């Protein structure tokens, strides 16, 4: 089984980055559904009625399993790397749920691939749409929801795992201990940064002078990366990973990139997609739970810059800029490439000068 020691972020750094983790070319979806049904009948509970594809948009193949008492959500990890981080994700979700942060209950996780050729996770099915869908309607109080998100970020930061970065899967599987791979946060933050910048120059997304400018800004602010202890970071916090009934948050989902990191990181991740007004509302919610860390604004801009760099790698590699307007990542921007470049520029401005987050 592969770990993630050399990974900054899975979708930008996975070994088979050009491959689709939801590829069903070698095993058709109906055959996978049959394997899931056989597995559930043997390893889970009795009374399975049917298994149907859920057609999720994330990194996993998804199904819904129907039982007399209700439905369950099934996720499969079927990538070429045989990634086993699903075990970490399930543990993180259990700990988050114990803090009374809304999160689906996990009923079974198996990353052994002994009975089936994939890792499998069985969880509570939350019958709500994601906030990205809800935000296109007329009734969602986006600033109120952002405030609620900020409060929940502050709550899950009560979890402070040892070390930094992505979690050591082997240590968890052998000892049940949740700790990062890296002894210093700086080591994790800088991991693969040069490779990411090099890729963006090679593909002409940024020019060499922009690369040098970014490198200089990161070097100038490297002292901000000296953390004594990390906190839990979702690391993929966006509206499509938050379920809502249109009035309140029902669940935070997709914790499969969670790390031990900086308390500003999840707030900066919101800024990768959303307006300054929404990010500011989330910050106001956050301070109801815990005070802002020292040098908050500079740390915010530094993390926004790092996050936009790895997201730009994913977007260039995945041809996201060529997708139609209804592609979920466009999120009303209509020009995702321009939006991505503008956020990188804003992060650089924030590090160079006094810049108000609300102006994003």
- Domain positions in the chain: 21-124, 129-359
pLDDT of residue 63 exceeding 90: yes
pLDDT of 259 reads: 98
In which band, very low, low, confident or very high, does the pLDDT at 59 lie, cut at 50, 70 and 90? confident
Question: In the structure, how many helices (H) and strands (E) does the chain have?
Answer: 13, 12
Cα–Cα distance measured from residue 251 to residue 265, given in angstroms and rounded to the nearest whole number: 20
Distance CA 161, CA 262 (A): 12
- The pLDDT, as a whole number, for residue 275 is 94
| 165 Cβ contact list (under 8 Å, min separation 6) | 8, 180, 181, 182, 185, 187, 188, 191, 259, 260, 261
- The pair phi, psi for residue 59, each rounded to 5°, is -80, -5
Identify the burial level of 304 via C-beta atoms within 10 angstroms of its C-beta, where 0-12 means exposed, 13-18 middle and 19 or more buried.
buried
- Quote the CA–CA distance of 159 and 57 in Å, as a whole number: 28
Opening angle at CA 232, ends 311 and 177, nearest 5: 120
Give domain 129-359's CATH number out of 3.90.1200.10, 3.40.50.150, 3.30.465.10, 3.40.50.1820. 3.90.1200.10
Q: How far is CA 183 from CA 2, 168, 188, in A?
A: 20, 12, 9
Residues 199, 205, 206: CA angle, nearest 5 degrees: 90
Whole-number average pLDDT of the chain? 93
**pLDDT value at 1 more than 50:** no
Burial label for 194, CB within 10 Å (0-12, 13-18, 19+), is exposed
Domain 129-359 in the same topology as domain 21-124: no
The predicted structure's pLDDT at residue 334 = 64
Q: What is the DSSP string of 333-352?
A: -S-HHHHHHHHHHHHHHHHH
pLDDT of residue 267: 98
Fold of 21-124: Phosphorylase Kinase; domain 1 (3.30.200)
pLDDT at 96 > cutoff 70: yes
Average pLDDT over residues 71-81: 94
Question: Sheet containing 129-130: which strands, arranged edge to edge?
Answer: 129-130, 242-244, 249-252
Looking at the predicted structure, is the pLDDT value of residue 25 above 60?
Answer: no
- φ, ψ of residue 101 to 5 degrees: the values are -85, 130
- Are 258 and 231 contacting, i.e. CB atoms less than 8 angstroms apart? no
Q: Once rounded to an integer, what is the mean pLDDT over residues 263-280?
A: 97
Closest by alpha carbon to 6, among 173, 171, 195?
A: 195
pLDDT-based confidence at 133, cuts 50/70/90?
A: confident
pLDDT at 333: 56
Q: Give the pLDDT band (50/70/90) at residue 16.
A: confident
Query: How far is it, in rounded angstroms, from Cα 318 to Cα 29?
Result: 23
Reported as a pLDDT band with limits 50, 70 and 90, residue 57 is confident
Whole-angstrom Cα distance, residue 81 to residue 76? Answer: 13
Q: Name the residue with higher pLDDT: 184 or 1.
A: 184
Does residue 86 have a pLDDT over 60?
yes
Provide DSSP, 179-191: BEEESSHHHHHHT
For residue 137, CA distances in Å to 9, 141, 248, 280 come to 32, 10, 15, 22
Q: Are 143 and 285 in contact (CB under 8 A)?
A: no
Full DSSP string of 263-297 = TTHHHHHHTTTS-HHHHHHHHHHHTTTSPPPTTHH
Q: How many CB atoms lie within 10 A of CB 117?
A: 13
**316 confidence band (pLDDT: 50, 70, 90):** very high
């Amino acid at each position: 089984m592969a770990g993630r020691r050399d990974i900054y972020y899975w979708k930008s750094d996975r070994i088979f980055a050009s491959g689709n983790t939801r590829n069903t070319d070698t095993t058709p979806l109906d055959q996978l559904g049959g394997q899931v049904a056989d597995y559930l009948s043997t390893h889970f509970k009795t009374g399975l009625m049917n298994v149907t594809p859920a057609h999720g948009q994330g990194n996993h193949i998804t199904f819904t399993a129907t039982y007399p008492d209700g439905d369950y959500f099934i996720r499969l990890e079927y990538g070429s790397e045989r990634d086993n981080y699903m075990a970490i994700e399930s543990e993180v979700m259990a700990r988050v749920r114990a803090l009374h942060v809304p999160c689906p209950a996990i009923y079974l996780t198996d990353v052994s691939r002994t009975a089936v050729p994939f890792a499998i996770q069985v969880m509570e099915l939350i019958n709500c749409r994601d906030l990205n869908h809800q935000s296109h309607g007329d009734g969602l109080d986006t600033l109120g929801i952002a405030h609620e998100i900020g409060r929940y970020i502050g709550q899950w930061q009560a979890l402070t795992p040892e070390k930094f970065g992505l979690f050591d899967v082997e240590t968890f599987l052998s000892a049940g201990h949740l700790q990062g791979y890296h002894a210093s946060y700086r080591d994790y933050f800088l991991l693969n940064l040069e490779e990411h910048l090099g890729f963006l120059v090679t593909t002409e997304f940024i020019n060499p002078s922009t690369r040098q400018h970014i490198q200089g800004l990161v070097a100038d602010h490297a002292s901000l990366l000296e953390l004594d202890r990390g906190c839990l970071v979702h690391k993929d916090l966006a509206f499509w990973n938050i379920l809502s009934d249109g009035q309140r948050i029902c669940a935070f989902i997709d914790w499969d990139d969670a790390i031990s990191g900086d308390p500003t990181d999840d707030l900066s991740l919101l800024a990768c997609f959303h307006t300054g007004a929404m990010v500011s509302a989330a910050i106001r919610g956050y301070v109801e739970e815990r005070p802002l860390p020292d040098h908050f604004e500079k740390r915010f801009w530094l993390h926004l810059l790092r996050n936009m760099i790895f997201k730009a790698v994913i977007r260039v590699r995945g041809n996201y800029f060529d997708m139609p307007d209804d592609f979920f990542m466009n999120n009303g921007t209509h020009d995702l490439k321009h939006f991505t470049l503008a956020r990188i520029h804003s992060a650089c401005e924030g590090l160079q000068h006094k810049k108000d987050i609300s102006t994003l």
